[in-house]
Amino acid sequence: MTKLFLFPFFVFVLLVLLPLPSSQYLCAAYGKEIVLAEVNGDTIDEDALQERLKAIHRNKPKIRPEGGAVGIKISDLVQEMIDERLVIQDAYRLELDRDPDFKKKVESYVTSRSVIRLRQEEVIEKINITDDECLAYFRRHYEKECPAPEGRFEKSKRRITKKLRKEKEKELSDNFVAGLRAQADVRIDKELFDLLDPESDYEGKKTVIARVNGHPIPLDDMLHDMRQTSQKRTRMFAILKNDPELEKMRKELKQDVLDTLITYELVEQEALKRNYVNDPAFAKTIQERKDRLLIDEFKAKIVYPLSIPSEKDLRQYYEEHVDDFKKGYEVWFREMTFYNREDADKTLKELRQGAGFEYLAARVSVRWMPRRRDVWVNADRFSPVMREALNRLKVGEISDVIADGKEYKIIKLKGKRGGEPIEFSRVVEHLKRAVGQNKFGDLLSDYLARLRQDSKIKINKKALKRIQKEYWNSSPKEAQTTAG
For residues 416 and 333, membership in a common domain is answered with yes
Please give the residue that has the higher pLDDT: either 262 or 231.
262
377-378 and 330-338: which strand pairing?
A: antiparallel
pLDDT at position 151 is 86
For residues 270 and 336, membership in a common domain is answered with no
For residues 196 and 265, membership in a common domain is answered with yes
Q: How confident is the model at residue 32 (pLDDT cuts 50, 70, 90)?
A: low
- The answer to whether residue 35 is domain-embedded is no
- The answer to whether residue 220 is domain-embedded is yes
pLDDT at position 327 is 82
- The answer to whether residue 448 is domain-embedded is no
Per residue in 295-338, pLDDT tens?
999 999 999 999 999 999 999 999 998 877 888 889 999 999 99
pLDDT at position 71 is 58
64-65 and 477-478: which strand pairing?
A: parallel
In whole angstroms, give the CA distance from residue 285 to residue 18.
10
Residue 12, pLDDT above cutoff 90? no
Domain boundary among 274, 307, 340: 274
Contact criterion met (CB below 8 Å) for 79 and 60: no
pLDDT at position 64 is 45
Which CATH number is 341's domain given?
Answer: 3.10.50.40
For residues 333 and 408, membership in a common domain is answered with yes
How many C-beta atoms surround the C-beta of residue 244 within 10 A?
A: 7
Average per-residue pLDDT for the chain: 85
Query: Which structural domain, as residue segments, surrounds residue 417?
Result: 326-421
- The answer to whether residue 313 is domain-embedded is no
Q: How confident is the model at residue 478 (pLDDT cuts 50, 70, 90)?
A: very low
Q: How confident is the model at residue 231 (pLDDT cuts 50, 70, 90)?
A: confident
Least confident of 3-12, 39-48, 220-229: 3-12
pLDDT at position 135 is 92
- The answer to whether residue 65 is domain-embedded is no
Q: Which amino acid is it at 131?
A: D
- The answer to whether residue 151 is domain-embedded is no
Using only C-alpha atoms, what is the Rg of the chain? 28
pLDDT at position 203 is 85
Contact criterion met (CB below 8 Å) for 87 and 448: yes
Per residue in 259-302, pLDDT tens?
999 999 999 999 999 999 999 999 999 999 999 999 999 999 99
Q: What is the dihedral of CA 465, 471, 476, 477, to 10 degrees?
A: -30
Cβ-in-10-Å burial (0-12, 13-18, 19+) of 475 comes to middle
Mean pLDDT, range 151-172, rounded to an integer: 94
Percent pLDDT > 90 in the chain is: 57
Contact criterion met (CB below 8 Å) for 104 and 110: no
Q: How confident is the model at residue 481 (pLDDT cuts 50, 70, 90)?
A: very low
Q: How many domains does the chain have?
A: 2
Domain boundary among 421, 452, 467: 421
- The answer to whether residue 67 is domain-embedded is no
What are the residues facing 409 on neighbouring strands?
337, 402
In whole angstroms, give the CA distance from residue 201 to residue 318.
48
Cβ-in-10-Å burial (0-12, 13-18, 19+) of 276 comes to buried
In whole angstroms, give the CA distance from residue 154 to residue 165.
17
pLDDT at position 127 is 95
For residues 202 and 265, membership in a common domain is answered with yes
- The answer to whether residue 121 is domain-embedded is no
pLDDT at position 238 is 65
Per residue in 377-401, pLDDT tens?
888 889 989 988 888 888 999 999 9
For residues 413 and 337, membership in a common domain is answered with yes
Cα–Cα nearest to 173, from 14, 6, 3, 13: 6
Domain boundary among 392, 421, 450: 421
Contact criterion met (CB below 8 Å) for 410 and 347: yes
Cα–Cα nearest to 37, from 77, 71, 73: 77
pLDDT at position 372 is 62
For residues 335 and 417, membership in a common domain is answered with yes
pLDDT at position 223 is 93
pLDDT at position 7 is 39
* HSE toward the beta carbon, residue 106, CA cutoff 13 A: 22
Per residue in 34-79, pLDDT tens?
999 999 999 999 999 988 888 776 654 444 444 343 457 889 999 9
